[in-house]
A and B are shown apart, each in its own frame.
Chain A
Amino acid sequence: MSGILPVDGSGIEQLSAEAGDQPCWHVEDVVATVCMALLMLITLANVVVRYFSEMSFAWTEEVSVIVMVLMVFAGAAGAAIRNQHIRIDLFSNRGSQARQRGMALVSLGATVVVFATLAVLLGRTAFDEIRYEELNTLNLPRWWVSVPEALLCALVAVRALGIRMRRAKESS
């Protein structure tokens, strides 16, 4: 689909990277990759089992959805490190150095605020889930999922900040 890469096309090196390139693996990259492989394997196992035994397991859908959401947040953190999130830099690439830097700061601030807020809200939800002893359809405590989600959201904010600090250090 279009929109798969940042609109400025900055992800293309990665897409056409030589197979021999070994990009740096951060912890969230490992999590996202493992989640992707799990999603494929679970669905595959479901097809195979259904084909041979005419049975289907509803719980695998629940598991898949949980794994998928964790993959989204982990992948979002990885994308924050490499500045891969979809954005329009038609305007922010123009003007003086100072103006560009100002725009980048506002953009960074917005990213940090959104993901930090989400982390806090998810944490608060997890608190409620513990208090009300809420279970998901798998009969497991809901907070087992929402706490990792909150942590990964916080990680997105941290990664976005990290890349900015690294750039500031490099330029000074």
Chain B
Amino acid sequence: MIGGLLFGVFVLLIVVGAPIGVAMGLAAMAAVAAANVDQSWFGLLAASQNALAGIEKYPLMALPMFVLVGSIFDRSGVAQRMVNFATACVGRGPGMLPAVAISVAMVLGGISGSSVANAAAVGGVMIGAMGRAGYPAPFAVSVVGAAAATDVLIPPSIAFVVYSVIVPSASVPALFAAGMIPGILAGIALIVPAVLLSRRHGFGARDQALPKPPFWKSLAEASWGLAAPVLILGGMRIGLFTPTEAAVAAVVYGLFVGMVVHKTLRLRDLPGMFREAAEVSAVIMTVIALASIFSYSVNTLGLADPIVHGIQALGLGSFGTMCLVIFAVLIVGTVLEGVPIFLIFLPVLAPLMQAFQWDTVWFGVLLTMAMAIGCFTPPLGVNLLVACRMSGVGVEKTLPWAAWLVATFVLAMVAVMVMPGLATWLPRSLGY
């Protein structure tokens, strides 16, 4: 009954287009009030307590800092120089520019924690370049959108920061390390179809005529950007920085590169960048705060238990249940993505994880892979939308190309599902 109220209000508000956090918060407040009519203030004082406790967590500080890093590197001019260098490495010809776009997105993924900033940075350089070389815009947009999705797996990643805050037994450094190999795997899984599709359809034939950038000069210019992931990941590895501090170090480094080295940033750009990062972080963290009320209500009103028991009663076993869960996340991911997916699913997934004794780090990587796929599945995928806006292409036109990339990304995810070592080997050997 109260479960129905919670679910009903939530779905109704989502359908009418209310903010996702508001839908979770109001549904939860209604359920808490209905269950506590005999209490003072209908038991709602727990709502504000939980909303605040949900975001008053120091580890969450990494989130606004990594958003800021993404925003700064988006404008620092390192993406263009990395593209030149990558082109100098792989050369020109059909399929080479998509491979360059994906590789650069992966390296930028080692700096930024957010796939949207990545899509904006890579898209800003590559969509135009691919268009000039003869790639159809819907194809270019799909490649950029999918490539940017690797950002949530390759450390640093805001997704892992949020997951760790909700599932404390999975630490941020362990998750960061665990995302590395699956992230590279996903990148390879995208490069292969992108190259094959280009060759088969003869895309990028005009590319061959263009001159190849000189190797050493482009390496020198790209080195500032290439050094950033080393600074961030290396600094964390040797214990110089916590994840939050690594992000701040990257901010300072990115400002230096953008303002002094590449001169793409001016002092008067700073307030706008800080403001944008503050608002983007606030939007995500508002959902986290309000979702904490949601998880409180699911927790105290005993709503998760019946769902968990119901799933267990299906008798699918550990692997079958995991397939079911990931499938559900993928389906919901077509219309929704990112942090909200975690927040909606985790109150139920946490007890399931416990019941089947899934490794919390491994499962976090799988969940994040499913979430990453949602970022570039039409009709609603935030990376895809960023890239579409840049090129003026309608999202529906990307379906024939995005479908291939979704399919191969899913294969990479299945590989991590079947071979947990792909995720757990690195954190284990680093001693996390």
Q: Do A and B come from one complex?
A: yes
Give which listed residue, A33, A90, A103, contacts B274 with CB less than 8 A.
Answer: A33
Residue among A37, A113, A121 with the highest chain B CB neighbour number at 10 A: A121
Query: Which chain B residues border A47 with CB–CB below 8 Å?
Result: 241, 245, 248-249
Does A15 belong to the interface (CB within 8 Å)? yes
Query: Which chain B residues border A104 with CB–CB below 8 Å?
Result: 16-17
**Could you give, for residues 243-277 of chain B, a 1 whenever the CB lies within 8 Å of some chain A CB and a 0 otherwise?**
01100110110000000000000101101101111
Query: Which chain A residues border B371 with CB–CB below 8 Å?
Result: 2
Q: How far is the CB of B48 from chain A (nearest CB, A)?
A: 4
Does B289 belong to the interface (CB within 8 Å)? yes
Q: How large is the interface on A (under 10, 10 to 19, 20 to 34, 35 or more residues)?
A: 35 or more
Query: Which chain A residues border B55 with CB–CB below 8 Å?
Result: 68-69, 72
**A3–B382 contact, CB under 8 A?**
yes
Query: Which chain B residues border A36 with CB–CB below 8 Å?
Result: 64, 68, 274-275, 277-278, 281
**A71–B281 contact, CB under 8 A?**
yes
**A12–B385 contact, CB under 8 A?**
yes
**B25–A114 contact, CB under 8 A?**
yes
**B51–A2 contact, CB under 8 A?**
no
**Given the complex of chains A and B, what is the CA–CA distance between A17 and B269 in angstroms?**
11
Nearest to A104 among chain B residues (CB) is B17
**Given the complex of chains A and B, what is the CA–CA distance between A43 and B58 in angstroms?**
11
Give which listed residue, A37, A61, A84, A149, contacts B279 with CB less than 8 A.
Answer: A84
How many residues of chain B get a CB closer than 8 Å to chain A's CBs? 97
Q: How far is the CB of A73 from chain B (nearest CB, A)?
A: 8
Does A154 belong to the interface (CB within 8 Å)? no
**Given the complex of chains A and B, what is the CA–CA distance between A140 and B151 in angstroms?**
41
Q: How far is the CB of B232 from chain A (nearest CB, A)?
A: 13
**B283–A76 contact, CB under 8 A?**
yes
Query: Which chain B residues border A73 with CB–CB below 8 Å?
Result: 282
**B379–A90 contact, CB under 8 A?**
yes
Q: How far is the CB of A113 from chain B (nearest CB, A)?
A: 6
Does A162 belong to the interface (CB within 8 Å)? no
Give which listed residue, B56, B61, B266, B340, contacts A3 with CB less than 8 A.
Answer: B340
Does B165 belong to the interface (CB within 8 Å)? no
Does B197 belong to the interface (CB within 8 Å)? no
User: How many residue pairs, one in A and one in B, have C-beta atoms under 8 Å apart?
Assistant: 259
**Could you give, for residues 21-45 of chain A, a 1 whenever the CB lies within 8 Å of some chain B CB and a 0 otherwise?**
0010100010011011101100110
**A1–B158 contact, CB under 8 A?**
yes
Does B41 belong to the interface (CB within 8 Å)? yes
Q: Would you mind naming 30 contact pairs between A and B with Cβ atoms under 8 Å apart? A: A1-B67, A1-B113, A1-B114, A1-B159, A2-B337, A2-B382, A7-B336, A9-B382, A16-B390, A25-B275, A33-B271, A33-B275, A33-B278, A43-B248, A69-B52, A71-B282, A72-B281, A72-B282, A75-B279, A84-B279, A85-B19, A86-B19, A86-B340, A87-B20, A88-B17, A92-B15, A103-B15, A106-B12, A107-B19, A121-B41
Of all A-B residue pairs in the complex, the 6 with the closest CB atoms, nearest first, are A3-B338, A75-B282, A92-B17, A9-B385, A85-B19, A121-B48
Q: Which residues of B contact A (CB under 8 A)?
A: 12-23, 25-26, 29, 41, 44-45, 47-49, 51-52, 55-58, 60-61, 64-65, 67-68, 74-75, 113-117, 120, 124, 149, 151-152, 157-159, 241, 244-245, 248-249, 251-252, 266, 268-269, 271-272, 274-287, 289-290, 335-341, 371-372, 374-375, 379-383, 385-386, 388-390
Q: Which residues of A contact B (CB under 8 A)?
A: 1-9, 11-17, 19, 23, 25, 29, 32-33, 35-37, 39-40, 43-44, 46-47, 61, 64-65, 68-69, 71-76, 78-79, 84-93, 103-104, 106-107, 110-111, 113-114, 117-118, 121-122, 124-125, 149
